[in-house]
Amino acid sequence: MARMIPSPQTDGATCPPVAGGISEISFCAWIAQAEASKVLIYHQGFLVVDTDPVLSKLPADQRLALRALASAAFRAEEQGLVHLVQQRMATDRFAYIAIARPKPTPPRPAFAARLLEAA
């Protein structure tokens, strides 16, 4: 889940609101190359409102793109690739922040496979 943090130190990877913001593919590319503790603001606004078909003031294509981005961020968090946090900017306005975690080490081959390689 998300939590509040003090002012993050960004590395130049901040993004404007979704209208000209980051895409799901760009977010995934950032995760692939980001070093541990690098910060990306992937949305500014109120995510639950901005992705809602009734409440959102965004055009349908931008709303759907934002929903895909939010889903990608959540999947990345579930896989342990990022921490997701929020920072309140104003009433009903938040910065949605992804913080890169250390890359997982590749799994080591099973002991039997290593024995076969050694033979």
First-to-last alpha carbon distance for the chain, in angstroms, is 48
Concatenated DSSP letters for 11-55? -S-----GGG---HHHHHHHHHHPPTT-EEEEEEE-HHHHT-TTT
The residue among 63, 62, 47, 59 whose CA lies nearest residue 96 is 47
The model's pTM is: 0.73
Domains of the chain: 18-118 (1.10.10)
Q: Report how far apart, in Å, the C-alpha atoms of 68 and of each of 27, 72, 90, 119 are.
A: 10, 6, 25, 48
| Torsion angle defined by CA atoms of residues 84, 35, 42 and 81, in that order, rounded to the nearest 10 degrees | -40
pLDDT, one tens digit per residue, over 32-50 is: 999 999 999 999 999 999 9
| pLDDT value at 18 more than 60 | no
The answer for residues whose C-beta is within 8 angstroms of residue 73's C-beta and 6 or more apart is 27, 42, 82, 84, 96, 98
Structure token digits, residue 53? 């078909």
The residue among 73, 102, 81, 95 whose CA lies nearest residue 7 is 95
pLDDT, one tens digit per residue, over 68-114 is: 999 999 999 999 999 999 999 999 999 999 999 998 777 666 776 76
